[in-house]
């Protein structure tokens, strides 16, 4: 799948999945219409991460959903994932491109216009930009209230690859992120910690689609 179709993006984290397995959450999210799943199990040992990854590969392939691995090129190769997502402290994008080749999807986390331009020049296929809003799911060096929508818009203007907002995003506040020009939104807790992850995914996907229509000018400007 082309990252320009990454509207609703689930990042996994078993430790905030209300006692459910990551596999169960991903089953629900694929049923709810997620476009892409990132295996991000930092607290899980490599062997287990690999085993979960293999199951997710089967599940996502059947559902036509992309599978991205957080940080680890070796795990991505071992499970035949679609790509890897790295941040500013991980392996450089250009090195990952050398290792994985031109077909792999490479995502890179950025929070400033300079980082975004650099990631694009290095060969990233999409950017994860945030934290947009305050989040409890990750310690972020930036402002604890998040970088905000103006920064999202500035980064969207500065690059020509898709931008996915991340950090503190819910179905209630995702619309403005897409209206600021993001292709989509990535979430952990909005789906993983929901009472009903499938319904939460459906709500989020619906919000993203509606906001895209507003952004395209197909509604709201009559
Ligand atoms: C889609 C997406 N965007 C940003 C991140 C954060 O990546 P990184 O800065 O490398 O932090 P960790 O996730 O590795 O803790 C992401 N994972 N996904
Ligand atoms: C991985 C990551 N990168 C920036 S914020 C964040 C956490 C997103 O989690 P949540 O959607 O629960 O705020
Ligand atoms: Mg990382």
Nearest residue to 60 (alpha-carbon basis) of 25, 85, 84: 25
* C-beta of 203 in contact with ligand 1 (< 6 A): no
Give 42 Cα–ligand 3 centroid separation in angstroms. 9
Q: Return phi, psi of residue 164, to 5°.
A: -115, 125
* C-beta of 197 in contact with ligand 1 (< 6 A): no
Cβ atoms of residues 125 and 83 within 8 Å: yes
Per-position DSSP letters for 130-168, written without gaps between them: E--S--SSS--SS-TT-SHHHHHHHHHHH-SS-EEEESS
Which of 3, 87, 108 to probe ligand 1 with, by most ligand atoms within 8 A of CB?
87
This prediction's pTM: 0.97
Buried b (16+ CB within 10 A) or exposed e, 41-77: beebeeeebbebbeebbebbeebebbbbbbbbbebbe
Superfamily of the domain at 3-216: Aldolase class I (3.20.20.70)
* C-beta of 7 in contact with ligand 1 (< 6 A): no
Length of the chain: 222
pLDDT in tens, 131-172: 999 999 998 765 688 999 999 999 999 999 999 999 999 999
With a cut of 60, say whether residue 220 has pLDDT above it.
Answer: no
pLDDT, position 8: 98
CB atoms under 10 Å from CB of 141, counted, come to: 8
pLDDT, position 216: 83
Sign of CA dihedral 9, 107, 141, 212: negative
Cβ atoms of residues 81 and 69 within 8 Å: yes
Identify the nearest ligand to the CA of 38 by its number: 1
Q: Which of the pair, 219 or 139, is modelled with greater confidence?
A: 139
Which of 107, 128, 140, 155 to probe ligand 1 with, by most ligand atoms within 8 A of CB?
128
Give 168 Cα–ligand 2 centroid separation in angstroms. 6
Q: Using N-to-C axis directions, what is the helix angle for 197-216 and 22-32, rounded to 10°?
A: 40
pLDDT in tens, 31-89: 999 999 999 999 999 999 999 999 999 999 999 999 999 999 999 999 999 999 999 99
CB atoms under 10 Å from CB of 170, counted, come to: 17
pLDDT, position 142: 55
């Amino acid at each position: 799948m082309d990252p320009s179709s990454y509207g609703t993006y689930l990042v996994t984290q078993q430790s905030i999945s209300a006692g459910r397995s990551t596999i169960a959450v991903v089953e629900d999210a694929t049923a709810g219409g997620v476009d892409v799943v990132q295996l991000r199990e930092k607290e899980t040992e490599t062997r287990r991460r690999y085993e979960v990854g293999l199951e997710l590969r089967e599940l996502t392939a059947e559902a036509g959903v992309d599978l991205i691995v957080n940080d680890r090129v070796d795990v991505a190769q071992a499970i035949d994932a679609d790509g890897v997502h790295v941040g500013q402290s991980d392996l450089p994008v250009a090195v990952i491109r050398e290792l994985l080749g031109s077909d792999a999807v490479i995502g890179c986390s950025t929070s400033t216009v300079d980082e975004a331009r650099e990631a694009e020049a290095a060969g990233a296929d999409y950017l994860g930009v945030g934290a947009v809003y305050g989040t409890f799911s990750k310690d972020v060096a930036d402002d604890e209230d998040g970088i905000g929508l103006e920064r999202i818009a500035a980064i969207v203007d500065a690059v020509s690859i898709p931008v996915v907002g991340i950090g503190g995003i819910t179905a209630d506040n995702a619309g403005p992120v897409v209206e600021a020009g993001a292709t989509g939104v990535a979430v952990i807790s909005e789906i993983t910690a929901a009472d009903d992850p499938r319904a939460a995914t459906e709500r989020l996907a619906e919000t993203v689609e509606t906001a895209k229509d507003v952004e395209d000018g197909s509604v709201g400007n009559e």
